[in-house]
């Protein structure tokens, strides 16, 4: 089976992990901060905080920004559920902004309209999470202007997008946001097995994030240390979590980061070949806006039902039967049973639902060698 995505592990990656296994530290040693420094440097951010998953990163990002009971978090309905669940973890309420049918990201005009209505009702969001779907950046400058106008904080969910750019900046620079979150799951651009990272330019947020990822415990900046307390002393100043990344994972991350530019180049080349080869088929191809350079985590097409009688479900089954692991990213969050119980219903976000009814993710990863087979099989499935 050709998967829709997979990791690319080399002997150098394996050796990096072995070196940690042979060292004195497996969990919290010198490699974690080294990985953080390299991510901060790569993204041109002031701080980077490593955690055990992007879900954990989203959770503590919300907490660090003070999200809690009585607050609202807004995000895209086209994302993995973690982009919305993080608000519920904090006791906040969640709502969504419908997508732009060109980029599949949140529509900034719709966001502005909804903010104007929310201001009149006294229900403005405390946090907005734009999701850079497939690795393509949202229009962050426009969202940042709205944040200044309406007073909300921004967490960029860049789980798909490390290595991508917005205008002249790498995603994660936080020029137009408070915090950016990355994922290092095996199907993402680089991997640590499981893992995530937060970047920020705020020293205050950096400090809070570091406390929150490690039980709320600090071994410095004490408030209650006495003369009888020695070097063993530590303090818990808030309720945190065990969301730490390990030296083992960080070693793999550092090794992978060395090849990130080649990964992005390979993904971009494959995506370009898809676009060139598929442009005459009855499908809608992904759009790339001039302000963004995608990291190309995913290549999502839509079956154009105005031009073909082929159904997405049938194309999916034919591709799977041919040994091609196509997928669908994503089922709109508001249609999930849990969110329906919160009051959402079919029809609430029509563009997201329209996109979902046609979307199909094709295989895309640097070591993909059977792209022509994928293309020819798709053509046959649509015939």
CA distances from 106 to 31, 92, 109 (A): 36, 20, 9
Per-residue confidence (pLDDT) for residue 227, from 0 to 100: 67
Same domain, 211 and 273: no
Per-residue confidence (pLDDT) for residue 230, from 0 to 100: 75
Counting Cβ atoms within 10 Å, is residue 288 exposed (0-12), middle (13-18) or buried (19+)?
Answer: middle
pTM to 2 decimals? Answer: 0.96
* Nearest CA-CA partner of 329 in 184, 57, 135: 135
Q: Point out the domain boundary residue: 210, 226, 259.
A: 259
Per-residue confidence (pLDDT) for residue 222, from 0 to 100: 67
Q: Point out the domain boundary residue: 259, 289, 305.
A: 259
How many Cβ atoms sit within 10 Å of the Cβ of residue 346?
11
Q: Look at residue 181 and tell me if it is in a domain.
A: yes
Exposure string over 223-237, b if 16+ CB within 10 A, otherwise e: eeeeeeeeeeeeeee
Which parts of the chain have pLDDT scores under 70? 222, 224-225, 227-228
Q: Look at residue 130 and tell me if it is in a domain.
A: yes
Give the Cα separation of 273 and 97 in Å (integer). 32
Give 318-328 pLDDT, tens digit per residue.
999 999 999 99
DSSP H or E stretch at residue 182: strand 179-183
CATH number for the domain spanning 356: value is: 3.90.1150.10
Same domain, 236 and 306: no
Same domain, 267 and 348: yes
Same domain, 144 and 268: no
Q: How many domains does the chain have?
A: 2
Q: Look at residue 332 and tell me if it is in a domain.
A: yes
Enclosing domain of residue 350 = 261-382
Same domain, 255 and 306: no
Same domain, 138 and 247: yes
Same domain, 271 and 207: no
Same domain, 349 and 216: no
Q: Point out the domain boundary residue: 234, 259, 284.
A: 259
Same domain, 129 and 278: no
CATH number for the domain spanning 75: value is: 3.40.640.10
Q: Look at residue 54 and tell me if it is in a domain.
A: yes
Per-residue confidence (pLDDT) for residue 13, from 0 to 100: 98
Q: Look at residue 4 and tell me if it is in a domain.
A: no
- 165, 294 contact by CB (below 8 A): no
Same domain, 228 and 297: no
Maximum CA extent, the chain: 80
What is the residue-wise DSSP string for 243-285?
-PPPHHHHHHHHHHHTTHHHHHHHHHHHHHHHHHHHTTSSEEP
Q: Look at residue 211 and tell me if it is in a domain.
A: yes
- Lay out the sheet containing 127-129: strands in order across: 47-51, 196-200, 179-183, 153-157, 127-129, 72-75, 93-96
Same domain, 285 and 353: yes
Give the Cα separation of 129 and 45 in Å (integer). 19
Same domain, 58 and 156: yes
């Amino acid at each position: 089976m050709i998967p829709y995505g997979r990791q690319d592990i080399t002997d150098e990656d394996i050796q990096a992990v072995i070196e940690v296994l042979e060292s004195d530290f497996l969990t919290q040693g010198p490699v974690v901060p080294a990985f953080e420094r390299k991510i901060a440097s790569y993204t041109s951010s002031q701080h980077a905080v490593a955690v055990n998953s992007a879900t954990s990163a989203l959770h503590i990002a919300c907490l660090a920004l003070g999200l809690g009971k009585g607050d609202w978090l807004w995000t895209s309905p086209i994302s993995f559920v973690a982009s919305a669940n993080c608000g519920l973890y904090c006791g906040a309420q969640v709502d969504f902004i419908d997508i732009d049918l060109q980029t599949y990201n949140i529509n900034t005009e719709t966001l502005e309209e909804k903010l104007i209505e929310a201001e009149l009702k006294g229900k403005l969001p405390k946090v907005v999470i734009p999701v850079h779907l497939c690795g393509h950046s949202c229009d962050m400058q426009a969202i940042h202007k709205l944040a200044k106008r309406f007073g909300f904080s921004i967490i960029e969910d860049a789980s798909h997008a490390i290595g991508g750019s917005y205008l002249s900046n790498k995603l994660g620079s936080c020029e137009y946001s408070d915090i950016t979150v990355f994922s290092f799951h095996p199907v993402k651009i680089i991997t640590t097995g499981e893992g995530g990272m937060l970047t920020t330019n705020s020293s205050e947020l950096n400090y809070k994030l570091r406390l929150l990822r490690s039980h709320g415990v600090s071994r410095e900046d004490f408030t209650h240390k006495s003369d009888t307390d020695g070097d063993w002393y530590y303090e818990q100043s808030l309720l945190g979590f065990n969301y730490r990344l390990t030296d083992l994972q960080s070693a793999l991350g550092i090794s992978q980061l060395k090849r990130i530019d080649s990964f992005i180049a390979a993904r971009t080349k494959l995506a370009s070949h898809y676009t060139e080869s598929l442009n005459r088929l009855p499908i809608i191809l992904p759009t790339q806006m001039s302000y963004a350079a995608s990291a190309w985590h995913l290549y999502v097409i839509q079956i154009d039902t105005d031009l073909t009688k082929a159904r997405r479900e049938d194309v999916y089954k034919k591709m799977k039967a041919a040994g091609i692991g196509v997928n669908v990213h994503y089922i709109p969050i508001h249609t999930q049973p849990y969110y329906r119980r919160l009051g959402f219903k079919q029809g609430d976000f029509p563009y997201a639902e329209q996109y979902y009814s046609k979307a199909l993710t094709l295989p895309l990863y640097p070591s993909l060698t059977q792209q022509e087979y994928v293309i020819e099989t798709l053509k046959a499935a649509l015939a």
